[in-house]
Chains A and B, each alone.
Chain A
């Protein structure tokens, strides 16, 4: 029986980690900054490719993963400087610009590195409980997801940067009038968002096939989680991921992957119907 219970927890942790890690970066870029970043999946892909490239050069996996996240963050800041900052007041145009960017990046990767890259294998091995065997690395992913949430909480709630950043997102003109360097705040926030996307790719790289379009597997889940979560990243994304992971886990376990996927999207439609501003709107109102 305990094996069954652990199996349920493991499934939940697995889906939860996938949702949180794919959504964390987007929660900042889209949820807070309001930039509809269609290239989110490409930043994830970037993280994965850099990780595999560095591991093949002999860099230890955890260091390669950190470097990959940093690379994605730096590229993100460059992209913000060159493209995204022109679109802060035109969110729909940001959709078009980042979508174009995503197409260019995907096709360029296809031309430069080819259609398939050899995998690097999952580390950490496996453990057994009852009749089941589990991959240890999946629990590492769950740990990373929790750490990312904690890290975001600390950055945005406990630091000076966080206070200014939240002020800037809420009312950029007022924040600027009070002396905040809003341009830099936007740039750093976008960089954190894309670094988190890169981290997601870096963490999943050892478990997946690497192709230039791999980012697409994460994008639906990440947008869904952020939209359900609503404008407040810290109060929205985590409960949204818990909620969606429960639904998906239960349906996957009883009816298989297809129903799991349909059921999750159906739940999303229902929530958006009932709570157009997402879960965080309720939680924020409660808090007041």
Chain B
């Protein structure tokens, strides 16, 4: 009798509000749609199993349509007007950097669910995706060993592309390799005949492709049509943009990437997850890495709130600082690193074959997001609110 009374009192509590900003229209919609779906699946599952701390959760999704100004406007609306308990979302690093100052002025936690170029040391932000020490530090040495020391980079011309290219320069230098060309391409450019000639002139052993968005992805079809035929490596292709599903084979042949998630993972946990997803969204072309991370973000939020017995960022960060912020994700156990608030991941190197079949070349096991901690970011002691890169390190004091 008493428990029933408590139960109904709890149910009367208002739901927890989850503010979600994901692009489901515009140039990046094909990647953003799985992010919305992943969030919806997690919300449905969590609500069915009794919610968070006995409270139901409510998803408030707005579509910023790939526009950074709209990200800021909608972010403010969710934080100030709707008073959401947590903010999740953002696709490009540009959208994340647009949101971060707005979140920093509040006490609301912000989950960024993409893999990215790394380096953000900010107590308001919890990063669920993989970062360069998990992606580039595994991929680039493997590419150099397998294909050779000369690389040509094509990258989207904004912070993600620029900083990722910087990571590549640093790692190539450490390996004694050579960057024979770098091309930064404005978003929206779709014609690559000139780029393909430039690559052939520079004669690289392999390509690093960190081009972003549907327009820039036209590169693959055009390179295949011109018979460019070079091995390619990437931190975002296949698992994130599922180019191997969108282009006719063999456009993505000989593409290599390191990923914490890709739909072809074949383990009982992953298969169970894929089954639940496809039951809810039968038309999904591919469960991409950021959709998967978006799903995990809600479970990580649930774990943090329940361990902290509070929805306050301060209390949740105490759980993170204890090193005990872990969930059993479909890839295996992942934990938030206390110093950087980034997530550990089990990383695998995957390759795409001529028929666009995906094979796992190498399993690196769990890799910690160690870089920020090593260079001196320690969010348990100090909130930097800054983004660091190999050429922009914290002042030692």
Contact = CB atoms under 8 A, between A and B. Distances in A.
Given A118-B246, A125-B227, A257-B185, A107 B214 contact: no
Contact of B248 (A118, A125, A138, A213): A118
Interface in A133-177: 133-135, 137-138
Contacts of A253: 194, 197-198
Contacts of B33: 114-115
Contacts of A209: 190, 214-215, 217-218, 221, 246-247
B97 interface: no
B228 A133 contact: yes
A206 B190 CA distance: 12
A256 B184 CA distance: 8
Contacts of B226: 126, 133-135, 138
B221 A206 contact: yes
Nearest to A217: B190
Interface stretch (B21-29, B266-274, B312-320, B373-381): B21-29
B110 interface: no
A264 B221 CA distance: 25
Interface string B140-171: 00000000000000000100000000000000
Interface in A62-113: 106-107, 110
Interface in B187-234: 188-191, 193-195, 197-198, 200-201, 203, 214-215, 217-218, 221-222, 224-229
Interface string A180-220: 00000000000000000000000000111101111011000
Give the interface size bracket for B toward A.
35 or more
A14 B194 CA distance: 9
Contacts, number: 137
B26 to A, nearest CB: 6
Given A120-B248, A132-B200, A135-B225, A211 B30 contact: yes
Determine which residue in A119, A209, A252, A258 has the highest number of CB atoms from chain B within 10 A of its CB, and name it.
A209
A58 interface: no
Contact of A18 (B191, B203, B221, B225): B191
B184 A14 contact: no
A121 B183 contact: no
B183 A256 contact: yes
B193 A137 contact: no
Contact of A213 (B27, B32, B186, B218): B27
Interface in B2-39: 24-27, 29-30, 32-33
A138 B221 CA distance: 12
B333 interface: no
B190 A208 contact: yes
Nearest to B203: A131
B213 to A, nearest CB: 9
A211 B29 contact: yes
Contacts of A137: 225
A252 B186 CA distance: 12
A122 interface: yes
B218 A11 contact: no
A261 interface: yes
B222 A207 contact: yes
B190 A138 contact: no
Contact of B189 (A14, A121, A257): A257
Contact of A207 (B30, B185, B195, B225): B225
Contacts of B157: 258
Contact of B218 (A124, A208, A261): A208
Given A115-B24, A134-B226, A209-B246, A7 B197 contact: yes
Given A213-B26, A216-B188, A257-B195, A119 B248 contact: yes
A261 B189 contact: yes
A160 to B, nearest CB: 38
Interface in B316-372: none
Interface in B218-269: 218, 221-222, 224-229, 245-248, 251
Given A253-B197, A257-B183, 4 more contacts: A14-B191, A14-B194, A115-B24, A256-B184
> What 7 A-B pairs have minimum CB-CB distances, sorted nearest first?
A121-B248, A116-B30, A122-B225, A135-B225, A126-B227, A115-B29, A115-B30
5 contacts: A110-B29, A121-B248, A133-B226, A135-B193, A211-B214
